[in-house]
Chain A
């Protein structure tokens, strides 16, 4: 039997329309607006000012703390202003707006695509370089990668887990990356292994991507220590806690981190970005974005410079279909609807999903019928119906006791609820309230 995680999980329709479209380079946009907060943690501080000339790969905003990341220019041109611009959070956030002029790269970046296998840096230098290159988790959570690689003293890591699951329906950016940049990615994994001083890495891939599994299984013979593990298709297997359970059968304790069970999880996209940063000196300023949807003319995977307006991507994929009901940033399960198509692509944008009218609306809301389907699908073993009610009643202490902070916001409960209750919305609200209380308790 194929491996998977044990608790809960759902299986939404996969709809991977863009799985066979090779990654294309998107033409450069006219202007980019690069938000200074693209990661979890402290927003970066802009270091350029209006009128400055920048080249591709130049640093434009500096990391402002340990949990923060540098941000680099994705284009060459002139900084036209630093202003508040609507981004995918739905709010106007400080961004650096650059008018594109040509495509001149910073001299330090090696532009050749030759594979470079030797790793010359030491483990400390690697972490430092990753920090400088502004690499964050590209699976969608955008947690700064150097933080995950800085293992606190007393913790022992024995395995690196590489997330090639891509459990979100529709999205195929990681899938394409595994097929087209496999060798680079594997070298990236070796770099990560060196940084963590582990000699075992497992790539977890769901078996709806047999081509990727086969291809990588062939390649890993040249890369000692790296294994490929086929996994049963189940959402949310891409959650790091679920993936750890599925691959090495260890359970991350409540409130704990993967570090506590001796594992570190990185996405395949991150591994590729690490390769580029260490071997080619190229900071993170572009990423693969899937543009897909049932009525999209040309479902595609694009290599996109950060800061490109979403509109450009949609145009390149054949334009906005007439029956569009919603445009979602991310996948259908965890993504968020956009209220403006001029928002820029950020480091965490893994896909743009265009849903037709009939799929866009929410289910009509009804009363909870106590069927407990949400309980049976919750991958974290929580009781979503209860957390929902407790949030509505503002019983924050009981919410905390019932483990609301362990919710990974995968949305399986709301997906499965036959009464169409907005369970996840309320749980998120409860989570934010409880976390505010926890923070104030610490102070």
Chain B
């Protein structure tokens, strides 16, 4: 009996040792060299794997970062300047600090402003709906309200407001990865500069119809009147296809355009209330109040 056990142990150990020796040499022969910095860089990245950098996941981005000589074109929107600084330190390369961005929804067409003229009962996807027709309202540019942007967000940074039927971005969660921008078939969502205290001024409309048609379809549409272009002291506003656009790089957040806009299509967000009170500005203020109310509600629900 004992010899059988002994024989088994010896023979198995011999096979094991032999295999180990062979494997050692095989591993030496087929060794793949991998830059150890890739692992280090990957560690520094946020591991969100969102694809916001344009590479397949954080590992892919880390490889690209290590490979590239000049990494100033590569940027991780989720980690932001902090992460990129850490990466640069590991690699001994230089990066420029970039202005943080945040997604904004450029449509205010809630049911009270934008009447529903037909009913869509097809598959619940903006991409499918937009391939079929212009949507439930007379505005063929605005939000379709089926939530493709919410579906693709990895950070819980966007949700559909049940009352307005429009997506709302939670600024604190938004990492500006751009997934929602790509998902929106109507190009409503835009990445804009975050600015101090999350203050933003933007044209919340993408309607390129002539004024009359746009206004008929939606009360808060940009009608292309050009008043904002005239009033802007920094030449930040351009008018194309009856639609105003505020260049975030030129805009100095002076808010002159907001008061000038006759339809209230230009939104100001996170600004303190104005000191001078004039009746004319009531409309714009109500809007602002609404927005700030909503913000408070958001934060309170989150706290819960």
Chain A residues within 8 Å of B, Cβ to Cβ: 84, 86, 89-92, 336, 339-340, 361-362, 422, 425-426, 428-429, 432
Contact = CB atoms under 8 A, between A and B. Distances in A.
A89 B133 contact: yes
15 contacts: A90-B134, A91-B140, A92-B134, A339-B117, A339-B133, A340-B117, A340-B118, A362-B121, A362-B122, A425-B123, A425-B132, A428-B128, A428-B131, A429-B127, A429-B128
Contact of B128 (A86, A362, A426): A426
A415 to B, nearest CB: 15
Given A91-B133, A339-B118, A339-B134, 17 more contacts: A86-B134, A91-B140, A92-B134, A92-B140, A336-B133, A339-B133, A362-B121, A362-B122, A422-B122, A422-B128, A425-B128, A426-B123, A426-B128, A428-B131, A429-B127, A429-B128, A429-B131
Give the secondary structure class of B's interface.
Answer: loop
A90 B123 contact: no
B173 interface: no
Nearest to A425: B123
Interface of B: 117-118, 121-123, 125, 127-128, 131-134, 140, 209
A429 B122 CA distance: 13
A425 B122 CA distance: 8
Instruction: List the 9 shortest-distance A-B pairs measured between CB atoms, nearest first.
Output: A90-B133, A422-B123, A425-B123, A339-B118, A425-B128, A91-B134, A90-B134, A429-B128, A429-B127
A54 to B, nearest CB: 25
A90 B125 CA distance: 16
A422 B124 CA distance: 10
A426 B127 CA distance: 9
Contacts of A428: 128, 131
A336 B132 contact: yes
Contacts of B123: 422, 425-426
A89 B140 CA distance: 12
Given A336-B132, A339-B117, A339-B118, A429 B140 contact: no
Contacts of B117: 339-340
Contacts of A422: 122-123, 128
Nearest to A428: B131
A429 B126 CA distance: 11
Nearest to A336: B132
B131 to A, nearest CB: 6
A428 B130 CA distance: 12
Contacts of B133: 89-91, 336, 339
A428 B123 CA distance: 12
B249 to A, nearest CB: 30
A422 B131 CA distance: 14
A89 B123 CA distance: 18
A145 to B, nearest CB: 26
Nearest to B133: A90
A378 B19 CA distance: 54
A432 B121 contact: no
Nearest to B151: A392
A361 B121 contact: yes
Given A339-B117, A422-B122, A425-B122, A90 B132 contact: yes
A84 B133 CA distance: 15
A160 to B, nearest CB: 34
A422 B140 CA distance: 23
Given A91-B140, A425-B123, A432 B131 contact: yes
B13 to A, nearest CB: 47
Nearest to A426: B123
A429 B133 CA distance: 13
Nearest to A91: B134
Nearest to B127: A429
A199 B122 CA distance: 47
A2 B123 CA distance: 38
A56 to B, nearest CB: 30
Contacts of B131: 428-429, 432
Contacts of A92: 134, 140, 209
B44 to A, nearest CB: 29
A336 B131 CA distance: 11
Contacts of B121: 361-362
B33 to A, nearest CB: 30
Nearest to A84: B209
Q: B123, B127, B128, B209: which has the most chain A beta carbons within 10 Å?
A: B123
A262 to B, nearest CB: 34
Contacts of A429: 125, 127-128, 131
Contacts of B209: 84, 92
Nearest to A423: B123
A428 B128 CA distance: 8
Contacts of A339: 117-118, 133-134
B41 to A, nearest CB: 27
A189 B127 CA distance: 41
A336 B133 CA distance: 9
A36 to B, nearest CB: 17
Contacts of A336: 132-133
